[in-house]
Chains A and B, each alone.
Chain A
């Protein structure tokens, strides 16, 4: 062969280009330099790892179609071919397809899921439930290994040993994690937990990926028991945190958020004890006051007055009765003896009395006699028959004989004239 024949630079670069373009690769690396000037026909960037770097270009149309906005530090996955740029004698990688890789890719996926869940209203605050004030059973869904579960148990024991802790120890990493966590949530709900702590210790973004799973997010939203999340460390945020009823930054913080502290409880009980005593004291004092008000009424302060009048009447009657019996007897006896005496005295008078009466009656009889009246100077005129009393001038005529009787005899008279009137 003409191995010894020299070629031109152009020929050499053309040969290199032909050789390089046979190599199609998919490469993952971090963007270390990037320039995308509006006038350029391609985006130029450098992708590197710790030990090597390569110059890349992506034609503008393909770059815009990828939907990726390159920035330094971004982890990208790109598919393309090597090539050689003859004018500069430089090797370059021509990117045909570009996507975010690793965490970058994950973050994009997570953001996409979050957008979808948000559009459905699953992340809204108004659908989040409040936690029970005094949970009796606290469910903990987490890895049975590592620090997180013990941090939670220790915190619960310190703050609120009154509650029972129900632990579902499940795998929280890898492809099995999501079904395992879902099983754990179901198990604590079935064990009638009042609240669930869904926690795990710190890890890489990829480690936390199960907590960005859409199935898990929907299960948390549909959980019959309120969920408190405590995933990773302070700055880590997962979809689980967004959809959980309460988001705590760490497992320990989740345990604290779900429980009252025993010291607070003791203070509260003390306060209730005081209030209880005071409320009763107040109630009793109120009753006492009312009784006292009533007791000042005469009816109660001088109970005798209630029955006073009647009592007095009864007393009086009793006294009168007591007196009445002997006094009555004595009076009757006296009256009897008086009557007896009277009777004794009356005896002779009864005999004397008719004689006197007759004399008195005779006197009155005498007084009433017309003859006695005549004695006082009056006269009576009788008709000629001597027995008919002349009472009117009309009973006699002139020349008629009448008899006029006076006290001691009779006068025979003749009527000489008659005059009427008194």
Chain B
């Protein structure tokens, strides 16, 4: 949900799913049309920031693979 401005993490620091959920909540609240104009503008700005961060994440995403147990063998032709 929408938190107070002060406690909101920056979109860049947020997990993809979290940022996306917040963006969706913002769109829904704006579509509701019940907000004050100032609040609408504030949420719009936040939404744009989230959107930019999400798009950047998608564009720049590099798969990170962490091995918890065992050691990954490089891919070979033979099937297991």
- A177 close to B (CB within 8 Å): no
Hey, what's the 0/1 contact readout for B16-31 against A, CB within 8 Å counting as 1? 1100110110110011
Q: A170-B70, A269-B58, A272-B27 are in contact. Are A153 and B65 (CB under 8 A)?
A: yes
CA distance A179 to B37 in the complex (A): 59
Count of A-B contacts judged by CB separation below 8 Å: 129
Which of A272-293 touch B at CB < 8 Å? 272-273, 275-276, 279-280, 282-284, 286-287
Question: In B39-80, which residues have CB < 8 Å from any A CB?
Answer: 40-41, 44, 47-48, 51, 54-55, 57-58, 61-73, 75, 78-80
A183: nearest chain-B partner, CB-CB: B69
**A147 interface residue per 8 A CB criterion:** yes
Stretch at the interface among A156-164, A212-220, A221-229: A156-164
Evaluate whether A269 and B33 lie within 8 angstroms (CB atoms) in the complex, with A167-B68, A183-B69 already known.
Answer: no
Question: Nearest Cβ in chain B — how far from A153, in angstroms?
Answer: 6
Complex Cα spacing A161 to B31, Å: 31
Assuming the contacts A134-B16, A162-B58, asked whether A286 and B69 have C-beta atoms less than 8 A apart, the reply is: no
Q: Kindly state whether residue A80 has any CB partner on chain B within 8 Å.
A: no
Is B15 part of the contact surface with A, judged by Cβ < 8 Å? yes
Minimal beta-carbon separation of A201 from chain B (angstroms): 5
Tell me whether A135 and B17 are in contact (CB under 8 A): yes
Is A149 an interface position by the 8 A CB rule?
yes
- Contacts A134-B20, A162-B58, A200-B80; A276 near B15 (Cβ below 8 A): no
The reply to whether B80 and A283 contact each other, CB–CB distance below 8 Å, is no
Contacts of A184 in B (CB 8 A): 68-69
Q: Give per-residue flags for A257-269: 1 if the beta carbon is below 8 A from chain B beta carbons, else 0.
A: 0000010011011
A202 vs B72: C-alpha distance in the bound complex, in angstroms?
19
Residues in chain A near residue B2, CB distance under 8 A: none
Shortest beta-carbon distance from B45 to chain A in Å: 9
Most buried by B among A148, A170, A200, A279: A279
B13 to chain A, nearest CB (A): 13
Residues of B within 8 A of A166 (CB): 66, 68
Task: Give the chain B neighbours of A161 by CB distance below 8 A.
Answer: 61-63
The total of chain B residues at the interface (CB under 8 A) is: 41
Docked CA distance A167–B37 (Å): 48
Closest to A187 in B: B68
CB contacts (< 8 Å) of A188 on chain B: these are: 68
Say yes or no: is A146 at the interface (Cβ < 8 Å to chain B): yes
How far is B62's CA from A163's CA once the two chains are assembled, in angstroms? Answer: 9
Q: Report yes or no: A276 in contact with B51, Cβ–Cβ below 8 A.
A: yes
Chain A residues near B26 (CB, 8 Å)? 276
- Given A162-B58, A280-B41, decide whether A167 and B65 contact each other with a Cβ distance below 8 A: yes
In the complex, 15 of the A-B residue pairs with CB atoms within 8 angstroms, ordered by the A residue number, are A132-B17, A146-B80, A147-B75, A156-B63, A161-B63, A163-B63, A164-B64, A164-B65, A167-B69, A168-B69, A188-B68, A200-B80, A262-B61, A279-B27, A282-B33
Please list the residues of chain A having a beta carbon within 8 angstroms of any beta carbon in chain B.
132-136, 143-150, 153, 156-157, 161-170, 172, 183-184, 187-188, 191, 200-203, 262, 265-266, 268-269, 272-273, 275-276, 279-280, 282-284, 286-287
- New contact pairs (17) apart from A147-B79, A165-B63, CB-CB < 8 Å: A134-B16, A161-B61, A162-B57, A162-B61, A164-B64, A164-B65, A167-B70, A167-B72, A169-B72, A265-B58, A268-B20, A269-B20, A269-B58, A272-B51, A276-B23, A280-B40, A283-B40
By Cβ-Cβ distance, the 5 closest A-B pairs, closest first, are A146-B80, A169-B70, A134-B17, A279-B30, A161-B61
